[in-house]
Structure 1
Amino acid sequence: MAAEAGGVHAGVTTTALVRTVLDRRGRERGSVTDRYAQDTAGNVWWFGRDETWFEEPGLAMPAAPRRGDGFRMALADGLDVRAEVEQTDAELETPLGELDDVVVLAVTEAEGSATRLYAPGIGLVRNATAGLVAFDEPR
């Protein structure tokens, strides 16, 4: 995954996160570009995917997630993604060491359900097909 300038939508400057998509056998199928922005309260919003801007941004991660909270991450033509906070204090071993206070989300979309793990100050650190192996501190 790589972050880059994401563009401006409805007056909001976004950051693009480009990730490689793999099939079930681990072969590369292409890439996906998602566009995010963080508000002054610390909430992270999902504004679009690839060349499509959502009519309304979805909540990618609340600033203060609480176990049991549910929210819509995205709603667009052919895309309906919902999440529920399962845990806010998980620990996760990575090649970079142990991460604390990891947020565990149960994410549901058309393809099914999956678990995603997010670490404070880093973001997504594990999903169904990938895990964190490197991280550069924000500059």
Structure 2
Amino acid sequence: MRLSHLTAVLLLVAAGVTACGDSSPNDAAPNDGSTPTRAEVPDASSFTTVIDNPFMPWTPGAVYTYEGGAERITVEVTDDTREVMGVTTVVVHDTVSESGKVVEDTYDWYAQDADGNVWYFGEDSKEIADGKTTSTEGSWEAGVDGAQPGIAMEADPQVGDYYYQEFYEGHAVDTGEVLALDEHVDVPLGSYDDCLRTEDVNPLDTSVVEDKFYAPGIGLVLETGVKGSDERSELVEFAPGD
């Protein structure tokens, strides 16, 4: 994931992200879609590495494989943890390959709060060409250079919810909006009902809009470009883990 953070106090208020508090993203009144939800980051002691949100169940050992165009994406929930902002997070390893060669290698950090919201605390991301790292631009860590964690998946998503997923000024900003809770999705691995559909936008580049579909008990099963891209990435293999 990619995220951006605003360091100035007034911009933080406008973005609705603060460094302390215990409210969930759904505590805020529904908005009109123009401003992301004001989600406060809970106290570090309220987080857990047991991530069992039905739309993002990061079970250690689980492996998701997606294919789209020339890309093959492998997402593995590891047994490793990393402390970020005093929170012990789960490390998820994500690789993108083209023609059998890895072109992007990323370690993402997640934790779940007491309400069941899954928070995203950053990533160590490398773009690779000919076996060599060419860029780490997408990397960020919550609490460093003003970056703050964002909501990767709400505990109780409702149509119209609009929230920051990533927030690090000038480098990585992503927002998610809940579009539907009852989608039917067909991918090579199978058919899924009652899927959550979100629309993801990077405010730094609104020319590209993606929709993501999450199946209960599985997680992400389909990602499609709806503006500025016609890419489609589908779940083709899934190992549920421990």
Report the TM-score when normalising by structure 1.
0.84
Q: 1:63 is matched by which residue type in structure 2?
A: A
Displacement of 1:123 in angstroms is 1.9
Amino acid paired to 1:137: P
Q: Which of 38, 53, 57 is the matching residue for 2:149? A: 57
Secondary structure in 1 aligned to 2:160?
coil
Change (3 A) 1:127 1:28: farther
Please name the residue that 2:178 is paired with.
85
- Asked if the contact 2:84/2:142 (under 8 Å) is kept, the reply is no
Q: Which runs of 5+ in 2 are unaligned?
A: 1-74, 125-138, 225-231
Structure 1: runs of 5+ lacking an equivalent: none
| Paired position in structure 2 for 1:68 | 160
CA RMSD of superposed structures (Å): 2.4
Which residue in the other structure is 2:92 paired with? Answer: 17
Bigger relative contact order (CA 8 A; separation at least 6) = 2
- Report Cα offsets for 1:40-90 as digits up to 9, x if no partner: 221111110115312321001101101111001111131111111011111
1:107 paired with 2:200, answer yes
Give the match's secondary structure for 1:132. strand
| Mean Cα deviation higher: 78-87 or 5-14 | 5-14
Q: Structure 2 CA distance, aligned partners of 1:83 and 1:102? A: 15
Structure 1 residues 26 and 100: alpha-carbon distance in aligned structure 2, compared to 1, 3 A threshold? farther
Report the number of matched residues: 138
Residue of structure 1 equivalent to 2:239: 136
CA distance in 1, matches of 2:223, 2:102: 16
- Select 1:8's aligned residue among 83, 98, 104: 83
Give the structure with the higher percent strand: 1
Q: 2:108 aligns with which of 27, 34, 43?
A: 34
Distance 1:26 1:88 in 2: 35
- Measure how far apart 1:22 and its partner are: 5.8
Structure 1 or 2, whichever has the larger Rg, is 2
Name the CA shift for 1:113/1:26 in 2 (closer, same or farther; >3 Å): farther
